Amino acid sequence: MEPFSTTEPEVGTGRDGYDSPSPDNIVILAQDLWKTYDMEAISVNALSGVSFSIVRGEYVAIMGPSGSGKSTLMNLIGCLDTPTSGQYWLNGRLVSELTDDELAYIRNKEIGFVFQTFNLLARASALHNVELPLIYNGTPPAERLERAEEVLRKVDLGDRMDHRPNELSGGQRQRVAVARALINNPSIILADEPTGNLDSATGDEIMNLFERLHQSGNTIVLVTHEHDIAARAHRIIHIRDGKIDRDEKVG
């Protein structure tokens, strides 16, 4: 059975030949994002005027060495933080000026996080971990269970639903995290060094999973410092010293 839909994405003319950004298909639009951290004596610019856009169905890697500001950018894209100045539009909504509660809602509905350290609740089963985002939008238990089982089967963990994270391998844990990211049908899947804690074979397996998700139409933003991983994406945004250094199409 084909686990993912093979339907053509709604936008784009092909895997690598995307339409030019237009108001209809832009998922992320960042305009002149600045993030300044006020230290005791000095101000540090983690981001100094970053602008870019990502259209629906794209598979983008944000790459840069540590300290380049890519984590700060990821936090902004993930609506975990707000920029000091500049505008960030997610799916047509200006999210750079939202309140905490509104940001929480966006994180719940629009963004599926996949973290380097998996960030699963240790005491909860895979199933419960996956249904967690549904709890925060008030989905009734029966529906939560049904949908959580569905996405777990999609990442080939149908037989591991009742296992706790410590009973799973690293790759399985990361697949639980991916299932959790998928459960609310987010606009983007935001992965932060998703293979950083995995051996290369397992990392490959996860990257293949992302490739499949991409092919079934999901928009994926991958943050990494490894070139091999970034090369799996179809576009790489290089960040250096809080600025976009280079924006290239690959693949």
Partner 1 sequence: METSMTGKASVGPARRRHGELYNAWVTAREAFWIAMEALNTHKLRSFLTLLGVVIATTTLIVVMSVINGMNLYIAEHIANLGVNTFILSQYKWAQGYEAYLKARRLNRPIRMEDYKFLKEQLVGYKTMGATAEYGGRTAHYQNQEIYDTSVVGVTPSMIDIGQQKVDYGRYISESDFTHSAPVCFIGTDLVNKFFPNVDPLGKEVRVSNQSFRVIGVAEKIGTTFGQSQDNFVMIPLTTFQQYFFNRPELNISIQAWSAAQMIPLEDEVRMLMRVRRHVQYNQDDTFGINASETIMSLWQRLTGTIFAVTIGVVAVFMVVGGIVIMNIMLASVTDRTHEIGIRKSLGARRRDILTQFIIESAVMAGTGGVVGILLALLINIPVQKFVTSSVPPSAIVVGVGLSVLVGLFFGIYPANKAARLDPIEALRAE
- Choice between 160 and 214, CB closer to partner 1: 214
Q: At what angle do helices 141-154 and 170-182 cross, to 10 degrees?
A: 130
In the complex, least distance from residue 201 CB atom to partner 1, rounded to whole angstroms: 26
Among 53, 87, 119, 197, binds partner 1 (CB under 8 A): 119
CA distance 134 to 144: 6
Among 7, 43, 66, 166, binds partner 1 (CB under 8 A): 7
- Choice between 141 and 251, CB closer to partner 1: 141
Q: Which residues of 201-228 are buried (b: 16+ CB within 10 A; e: fewer)?
A: ebbbbbbebbeebbbbbbbbbbbbbeee
Q: Please, which residues have CB within 8 angstroms of residue 212's CB and are 6 or more apart in sequence?
A: 3, 4
- How many CA atoms does the CB half-sphere of 88 hold within 13 Å? 24
In the complex, least distance from residue 249 CB atom to partner 1, rounded to whole angstroms: 19
Long-range CB pairs of 153-157, under 8 A, 24+ apart, other chains included: 153/3, 154/3, 154/4, 154/179, 154/182, 155/179, 155/182, 155/209, 156/3, 157/126
- Choice between 135 and 250, CB closer to partner 1: 135
Instruction: For residue 180, state whether it binds partner 1 (rule: CB under 8 A).
Output: yes
In the complex, least distance from residue 19 CB atom to partner 1, rounded to whole angstroms: 14
Amino acid at 65: P
- Choice between 119 and 197, CB closer to partner 1: 119
Among 16, 37, 67, 92, binds partner 1 (CB under 8 A): 92
Interaction site with partner 1 (CB under 8 A): 4-5, 7, 9-10, 27, 56-57, 75, 78, 80-81, 91-93, 100-102, 104-110, 113, 115, 119-121, 123, 132-133, 135-141, 150, 154, 180, 182, 184-185, 187, 213, 216-219
